[in-house]
Structure 1
Amino acid sequence: MTEVRAEGPDSVPPRQKAPTIYDVARLAGVSHQTVSRHIKGHRISDQSRERVEKAIDDLDFQPNSAARSLATRSSRRIGALAYEMTQLGPMTTLSGAASLAREAGFVLDIVTMNPVDPTSARAAIDLVKQNDLAGILAFTPTDDVRLELESTRFRVPVYVEHEVDDDAHRGNLNYDAAAVVAEHLLGLGHRSFAHVAGPGNWPSSRLRAAGFADTLRAAGVTPPQAEEGDWNPASGFDAMTRILRRGERFTAVFAANDQMAIGAIAALAGAGLRVPDDVSVAGIDDIAEAAFVSPTLTTVPMRFAGQGRFAFRRLLAMINGETLPELGDELRGTLVVRQSTGAPADASR
């Protein structure tokens, strides 16, 4: 328990001068123009960004957003429509956006919603519209939320982080992650698969399913019938149980995210199947638990914080009337091979 005590005036240390952008530049070893570009949300080199962010943290530098707002007569608040804050992906993505917003001198006003309830989405949109904002950042995981946003007129720039089925090709982060998993399993010699998919009304789920299925077809393998889960371990367990009841033969399981993969492994163990001796299992996201479950889980990181920062950079470009930044390779995850995948022991299974 922290004890707070009032002290006399003689005990108060002299107030130190607040660090400036020039102090940050000096400590980071870059120009003050580079620091300014980063604070405004513009893209700088990865090496410079790391040095600038460390200097900002070390100096506890705070951009003077209040003075900037008075000078420009513009709001320094961003509305953020968010969802599923208890889940790693959405929470980390929003944290990344909030971090860059803070560095750029903005405050993120977060309004949460239920992504599968159109009434909840409409209420959240109406609420965020009531505020004096510089722009709105909308993370829309489902088709229902996207439709609600498309039917709404806004007075400020709105960046909608949303995917559509036309994005089902190489270059899309979700599609690519699933394709990488499929290539890994095919490379190990697997030719018979099970698929624990995410909910069908989530574009990210459909894109991961497409990346997996297209890669199998390109290798001459017929994709399996998918069983849908709801992103959590219990739904992965249930989906895997339904697959097992069908009596189909398979040597590898692709789960659309790590949590469902963990549930699937539990269902396989309950059926007397060992991972990876009898069945290989791989997921997507690289959640913290993936490195500590038994067996440790093969997966592809999705770099959610980077995605959040990228979304904010694009919104800031819209606010400033600038060209939107392009997606860079730094957001693309590479396969992390762990204990849950291996060559099939019996190719006839």
Structure 2
Amino acid sequence: MKPPTIYDVAKHAGVSHQTVTRYLNGFKGIRPQTRQRVEEALAALDYRPNSAARLLRSQRTNRIGVLADRIDQSGPARILTGAGELAHRRGYVLDVVVADGTSAGSVAASLATIIEHQVAGILATAQSDVVLEELRRQATAAPLVIGADPGTESDQPTVNELAGRYAADHLLDLGHRRIGYLAGPEVWIAARGRTEGFTRRVLERGGRIVWVRQGDWSAASGHAVWGELGADERAVTAVGVANDSMAIGLISAAADSGVRVPDDLSVVGTDDLPEARFVLPALSTVAMDFEGEGRFLIEELIAKIEGTDLPEDVRLPTPPHLIARASSSRPVTGT
């Protein structure tokens, strides 16, 4: 089958082929409704820009190097999914190089590998301070965008602090006051933000953090943490968890010990994994727009590569939001 052309896209979207060309070239003056129709037509027809010809004319490569860390985890993998989708639509290809985010040497070596391939730009998904610090030490000729949530000096909370707050607010609004928290690995920037947001919110609103434990993001670690708790610690009426996988493991271990969720214990996770609504009980969680984050980061990087401003109608990631399901309810005793 003959691949679709910009004329096919224009016909499908009900616009001129010049409008499609302007969109593909990153022109920011296209009306939002028109831009949406073009994007939907590109996706429906699976249009692939002839980036080779365009970039040959501009003598520029279409390859974007990605320094990735812990792509075995849901969040980083979904960021790359969103980044890859947007890059594809804009005629770019991602070259992904995986680094160990706990090793400065690994980060430096992975970055050197990317630079050797003369990429148009570099996207780094920084999950740890090690990655951030090493990237700041390295000089790169290619444009660089770093995807991280390290916090700011302003009063505005980070995305992950917001996620922690929303999880805490949900449990507090239900009436819980004795609460535990299962955090992610402290080396992760996101884990620290979620823990800070959750614990501070509980204390601000008069609740009590009975315990904080740390897992490794896996369901197995969530299961193990519940088994390590003493009787007094298990007497909490609710637990906030830094991701859904650990929450699922904790719920399983609680059931094994005779604790029923949500009758005896309410649990709220974070991330909204695809399977979160299918486990029993369906998991309450804070949804995170990782795919939207990936798309936005690529928009930022392509603007740097092409020397343009971000489109005025660029889509920002959807803010975190609470999804209440069956794993959380009001405490039976009201304590």
* Fold equivalence (TM over 0.5): yes
- Give the distance between the partners of 1:318 and 1:25, measured in 2 at CA: 27
- Bigger shift: residues 217-226 or 148-157: 217-226
- Give the distance between the partners of 2:211 and 2:151, measured in 1 at CA: 19
Q: Is the 8 A contact 1:173 1:332 kept in 2?
A: yes
For 1:347, the equivalent position in structure 2 comes to 334
For 1:333, the equivalent position in structure 2 comes to 320
Pair 226,166 (structure 1): closer, same or farther in 2 beyond 3 Å: farther
- Give the distance between the partners of 1:271 and 1:23, measured in 2 at CA: 61
- Give the distance between the partners of 2:178 and 2:34, measured in 1 at CA: 46
Q: Within 5 Å, give how 1:1-349 maps onto structure 2.
A: 16=2, 18-30=3-15, 32=17, 35-36=20-21, 38-40=23-25, 51-166=37-152, 170=156, 172-244=158-230, 247=233, 249-324=235-310, 330-348=317-335
TM-score (normalised: structure 1): 0.87
Identity %: 41
Measured after TM superposition, the shift of residue 36 of structure 1 is 4.3
Unaligned runs of 5+ in 1: 1-14
Q: Which amino acid aligns with 1:256?
A: A
Measured after TM superposition, the shift of residue 152 of structure 1 is 0.7
More strand by share: 2
Q: Is the 8 A contact 2:179 2:211 kept in 1?
A: no
Measured after TM superposition, the shift of residue 184 of structure 1 is 1.0
Measured after TM superposition, the shift of residue 320 of structure 1 is 2.5
What's the CA shift string for 1:3-42, capped at 9, x where partnerless? xxxxxxxxxxxx74x5333431331234556544653567
- Give the distance between the partners of 1:285 and 1:252, measured in 2 at CA: 18
Q: Is the 8 A contact 1:286 1:301 kept in 2?
A: yes
Q: Is the 8 A contact 1:279 1:344 kept in 2?
A: yes
Q: Is the 8 A contact 2:292 2:316 kept in 1?
A: no
Count how many residue pairs are aligned between Structure 1 and Structure 2: 333
- Give the distance between the partners of 1:192 and 1:48, measured in 2 at CA: 52
Unaligned runs of 5+ in 2: none
Q: Is the 8 A contact 2:10 2:38 kept in 1?
A: yes
Pair 308,270 (structure 1): closer, same or farther in 2 beyond 3 Å: same
Pair 280,169 (structure 1): closer, same or farther in 2 beyond 3 Å: farther
TM-score (normalised: structure 2): 0.90
- Give the distance between the partners of 1:19 and 1:328, measured in 2 at CA: 26
Give secondary structure in 2 for the equivalent of 1:227: strand
- Give the distance between the partners of 2:315 and 2:47, measured in 1 at CA: 27
- Give the distance between the partners of 2:221 and 2:36, measured in 1 at CA: 39
- Bigger shift: residues 240-249 or 329-338: 240-249
Q: Which amino acid aligns with 1:29?
A: G
For 1:4, the equivalent position in structure 2 comes to none
